[in-house]
Every structure is written in C-alpha cells, then in structure tokens.
Amino acid sequence: MDIIWRERELSYFTEDDDAAVARRSLELLARDEYDVLVSYQQGYDEWLHQTQPRSPECLAEMRRHIDDFVRLASAARQRWAGRPHALAFLPDHGSHIDPATGLGTHGEDIPEDMELTHFWAVNPRG
C-alpha cells in the first residue's frame, strides 16, 4: 500500500506488523506534524490468502482492524478538536474464493473484489 505514493515528497513509515502500525499512527497523530495520515493494516489480507474471506481468522483480523480504527479515530477527534477534519475507514479491495485453490483472493474485475463500502466521518467545524 505504501508504495503507491513512493517518489513523492511524503514521509513513509513501514512497520513490521499491524500492532506497530497502530502504535506509529498514534505517535504521529500525537506529534501533529502532518495534514494527512494513512494507516494501512494487512492482517485480514494475510489471513485471506491462507483461508477464506469469512474464516474465523479473517473475521478476528477484521474486528482488530475496526478496534484499531476506533482507537485512532478517537485520538484524532481529540487531537483535531476545533479544526475541520475527516476520518475514513477505506478497505482497498474486496475478496472472493479462488475456485482453483479454495482460498481467498482478490484483484479481479468482479463485484466481490470491486464493490466496497467506505466509511467517512466529515467534521467541518472540528
């Protein structure tokens, strides 16, 4: 995910795992040096390719991603109180079961992979 913006004048922080991503995101939020923070986690995707989209492992990762988002969103709302801001929870792709392997995958031009729900909270007054 972070390679999308490589070669641009941005700061990149690539971490070893999702817990480190959450910690780094909270740290960056507290430092308040950036106008945009993108915090990408990949636990669901890793389990997707080893199991299936709604496996217990995938659902546990999805819940963890939501919990981390709630923590980040709460910290952002406190940090940016009084300033216009937007929060977004944006899955980067959907998933389906590969009939050849029986495992989860993505990247095809099909509704399961392409049609996503994105969640926005726009606070124009802060």
C-beta of 48: minimal distance to Zn ion in Å? 6
**Would you state the structure tokens that stand for residue 10, as one six-digit string?**
């941005």
For residues 16 and 8, is the Cβ–Cβ distance under 8 A? no
Among candidate residues 22, 124, 18, the one with its CA nearest the CA of residue 80: 124
C-beta of 103: minimal distance to Zn ion in Å? 11
Size of the site for Zn ion (CB under 5 A): 1
Residue 77 vs 93, nearer CB to Zn ion: 93
Q: How far apart are CA 126 and CA 70, in angstroms?
A: 17
C-beta of 24: minimal distance to Zn ion in Å? 21
C-beta of 93: minimal distance to Zn ion in Å? 8
Residue 45 vs 68, nearer CB to Zn ion: 45
The 30-69 contact track toward Zn ion, x by CB under 5 A, reads ---------------x------------------------
The DSSP element (H or E) to which 123 belongs, if any, is strand 119-123
Residue 45 vs 61, nearer CB to Zn ion: 45
**Would you state the structure tokens that stand for residue 35, as one six-digit string?**
């106008």
First to last CA, the chain: 28
- Which residues sit at the interface with Zn ion, rule CB under 5 A? 45
